[in-house]
Amino acid sequence: IYLGSQIFVVRRSNTSRSKTEDPEMASAITSCIVYERGQEPMKETVLDEAWGWFVVVGFGVFFTVFTMWLTRFETNTLGTAMSSEQFNTAGRNIGAGLTAAVIVSQWTWAATLLMSSNMGWRVGVSGPFWYASGATVQILLFAVLAIQVKRRASHMHTFMEIVKARFGTVTHCIMIVFALMANMIVTAMLLLGGAATISDLTGMSKLWAAFLIPLLSCWIYTMYGGLKATFFASYVHTSVIFLMLIVFTFSVYASSGDSSGLYGSPDKVYSGLQKASLHGFLTSTGRACDFDPSNSLCDGSTSTTKSVGNFSALDSFIENDGTCFTADKRETGKACKFQPKSSGTCCAFDLGKKITSTQYCRADKGDCVDVGAKSYESTGCNADEQCVPSFLTMGSPSGLLFGITNIVGNFGTVFVDQSYWQSAVAAKPKSAVLGFLIGGMVWFAVPFCMATTTGLAGRALTMHPELTPLYITATSSGQGLTPARVLAKILGSGGAFILLLQLFMAITSTGSAEIIAVSSILTYDIYYTYLNPELKTRRENLRASFSTAVAAFEVAGKVASDKVQHVLNALMAANFFEKAVPAREVAAFATAIDSFTDTDGQISTTDLYACLNRAVSSNNVEGQILLRVSKFFTAIFAIFMGFLAVFLQTLGFSLGWVYMSMGVIIGSAVGPASLTILMERANGIFIGAGAVGGLVLGLLGWLVKAHVDNGSISCDTLGQDWPWVVGNLCAILGGLLISLVGSLAFPDTTFKWSMLNERIPLVDDIEPAKDNDETDEKLSRQVKIAVVASVVLTFVLLVLWPLPMHGAAGVFGKGGFTTWVALEIIWALVGGIVIIVLPVWETVRAFVQAKKNVETITQKADASATLKNGITLTIDIVAEKPATAKEKSVAVDI
């Protein structure tokens, strides 16, 4: 109680309470403690506050140093020079294994671990499945976009560059806004959930945690090593997350357990969940006279009444498939189900404050239960039996509804998040599809395993004799505390610590990906395009100069290797080079020419320009500037992340509310962003209109549905399931239909895919040479593989597997549940092995090959700049060309 400048906090005794009193307010007041304003009572936590600081600061510094060492080791060993292209694209040659590990890391948020467990606790086995499948299909389907990026826009740094190259400034600016909103929403999700959990586990201030994590644990190594450093960090984080996930799983399903018999094997957890269901529907429900025997409608005798227990969130699974039980709790084997009552209530009379929020009133006759303001009646049982819905079933309307919301809501945070496009850019062409498909299927194991373990065990533990049915409540589970309370009970403080470390990994891995993604947007789409367009103009002028010089030697888009020196002579005559080119750069240029020359002794004009652009780095001004700008923007966004989290916590936004509303806000850009790389005749006007129009439709659908269902619009009514579903569907379908129908009606017939790379030039690097598996024909085959594999897997995960089980499987028996758990464990083990071993194998193999290439290049550089055809290249510049006044001004500005 606030009074003036002081806070009064009352303490209550632990004396017994009456059966009708609220369990949290029933004991008597025994004392009062006064705190000055600004102070607050200390809460008891599983770990000391020092552990929170140790993880945030200590582990943050440790993983920063470790990642920086890995980056430095690669640079020193392979001689990889840090350029703006390398910083933002990681060299465009990442293998499928590391790509998959990065995808798993980026898509594993704090919410993945916390909210999936909440769904397992709330609705049972269907919750983990729908969380996992509903957020896996987006990654699988993105594989189609990833391979098209490698085929059609391999020079891109951000997907907005494609928008700019195709549709102009207005549509470009619209998509920048949606992309930055996506990054801010993901950032808010990370830091709100992560900081809250760190605070709940250790007592560390949520504000300090949210502010320090981006700076100490994400920014430093991202600024030092760029995208490649975040990939190294993501691999380490993913490995740790999976190792801890397996520890949690075996602790719950393959250990000795304790005397309660509620965990330690699938059979024990099964029994615990069954006990929880029975307690919820037979012990925490009662007739009206059980709560108020003194009412005039009752006989006044307490001998015919029973003591009613407590059970949290009965409404979350009351519509699940169930089984009929007799009054003495004996299972009959008959299937049953509760459905909303068409009219009226079940309770004989209004109980008012005689009943708590965790107790439920039954009808005097028939199987009818009031849960809050809603009433439900069962079908399928005899008159002397009662229906008991089960946590052990896929037949859950609540789980299915969540799955729908999860599916449509998560498209925006993948298809509009620059970090996933950046992962596609960084992958080798032949690795893009496989990387995203493996990443999606491995990621499925994270929420599926975590929630099937801690979510279900959390419900079972509410029946523990040392605890109470309210050990985990709907409020605490909704705040993401189910894993913490489960692991603290099963593994003690050690379990709480490894959960803390796992969450820290999830936060930092995705946080660093968001930092580099936003830095790329601010650098290439805002600074390079609008704030300092002189840099791009200089690049375009150099390209025009090259095109003029090479025209005399070009035949059918190619130049003979014996004509390369003639091209260099023409470029020197045109003052293409501003200063003398070192001998090592000329030798590197010759090596690059040899690698791109075909068997006929020809090199494509595009590859010739790229080789020249990369090798002659001493003449590259904009590359150096863009690298500095990129690093500067990583710092800006890291600081912004901290302030954003503090601001949202001050406003009181919850993790769940932000998670469910994100699809309404950014989902409308999914269709337009996808058509940008999929549809050659897409119309820029309707691409922009689709993004904006879909947002308007989404907001309208969200608001109207909330008002229709509740008669008012507020945070509470907007936070209900159906308004979210309607808003998400209106946004994503509205944006897609506007952009697609408009483009079909008014197609752009002037644009061709070949124009993209011409309009998005590389700055200071070159695409890696394509091998025999990366020809146009084989990449076209990769597109077909991506489409077929992603569609088939999506159909399996959303239709073929769950819907028959939802409609007809009923309640699992012990054997069925054991099989389900075995599938979960196998998936986690196989996924863990693949995601830990495959990147190491690929990286070591690539490292050995790269080292050989470096030695070859070094030997060649030491020898001469001689091509395979015997011609020695020379670039003789007598003196540096004086810098113009504008170029001096640009340099001073930077």
Q: Which pLDDT band holds residue 29 (cuts at 50, 70, 90)? A: very low
602 φ, ψ (degrees, to nearest 5): -115, 150
688-744 pLDDT tens trace: 999 999 999 999 999 999 889 888 888 778 877 788 889 989 999 999 999 999 999
Give the C-alpha distances (Å, rounded to integers) separating 170 from 58, 540, 687, 691: 46, 22, 10, 12
33 or 444, higher pLDDT: 444
Among 609-623, 647-661, 878-892, the range with the most confident prediction by mean pLDDT is: 609-623
110-154 pLDDT tens trace: 778 888 999 999 999 999 999 999 999 999 999 999 999 999 988
Per cent of the chain over pLDDT 90 is 44
In the numeric block, the tokens 């930055």 are attached to 180
Check if the beta carbon of residue 124 is closer than 8 Å to that of residue 258.
Answer: no
First to last CA, the chain: 55
Question: Could you give the residue ranges of the DSSP H alpha helices within 652-775?
Answer: 655-666, 670-678, 684-710, 715-718, 721-745, 755-759
Across residues 221-243, what is the average pLDDT?
Answer: 88
Query: Residue 339: pLDDT above 90?
Result: yes
Q: Which pLDDT band holds residue 866 (cuts at 50, 70, 90)? A: confident
801-838 pLDDT tens trace: 999 999 888 899 999 999 999 999 999 999 999 999 99
Give the C-alpha distances (Å, rounded to integers) separating 30 from 3, 11, 13, 16, 754: 20, 6, 6, 14, 79
627-663 pLDDT tens trace: 999 999 999 998 888 888 778 777 766 556 666 677 8
Tell me what pLDDT residue 589 has. 82
332 φ, ψ (degrees, to nearest 5): -95, -20
Check if the beta carbon of residue 575 is closer than 8 Å to that of residue 612.
Answer: no
Query: Residue 677: pLDDT above 90?
Result: yes
**DSSP letters of 377-442?**
EEESS-TTEEEEE-SSBS--HHHHHHHHHHHHHHTHHHHT-HHHHHHHHHB-TTTHHHHHHHHHHH
Chain mean pLDDT for the chain: 85
Give the C-alpha distances (Å, rounded to integers) separating 814 from 128, 253, 393, 730, 820: 18, 13, 12, 42, 10
Give the residue from 559, 494, 511, 631 showing the smallest Cα distance to 183.
511
Q: Which residues of 817-832 are buried (b: 16+ CB within 10 A; e: fewer)?
A: bbebbeebbebbbebb
492-507 pLDDT tens trace: 888 888 888 888 888 8
**How long is the chain?**
894
d(CA 331, CA 333): 6
439 or 879, higher pLDDT: 439
Q: Is 285 helix (H, G, I), strand (E, B) or coil?
A: strand
Tell me what pLDDT residue 655 has. 58
| Tokens found for residue 702 | 């969200």
121 or 59, higher pLDDT: 121
| Tokens found for residue 266 | 């699938």
Give the residue from 715, 653, 628 showing the smallest Cα distance to 479.
653
d(CA 839, CA 830): 14
List CB contacts of 311: < 8 A, sequence separation 6 or more: 276, 279, 280, 283, 284, 358, 359, 360, 462, 469
Check if the beta carbon of residue 423 is closer than 8 Å to that of residue 106.
Answer: yes
Give the residue from 479, 511, 510, 509 showing the smallest Cα distance to 201.
479
DSSP H/E element including 602: strand 602-604
Query: Residue 15: pLDDT above 60?
Result: no
Q: Is 872 helix (H, G, I), strand (E, B) or coil?
A: strand
Tell me what pLDDT residue 298 has. 85
**For the chain, how big is the Rg over CA atoms in Å?**
31
- Give the strand pairing for 385-389 and 554-555: unpaired
Across residues 206-233, what is the average pLDDT?
Answer: 85
Contacts 24+ apart (CB under 8 A), 858-863: 858/79, 860/587, 860/590, 860/591, 861/583, 861/584, 861/587, 861/588, 861/591, 863/587
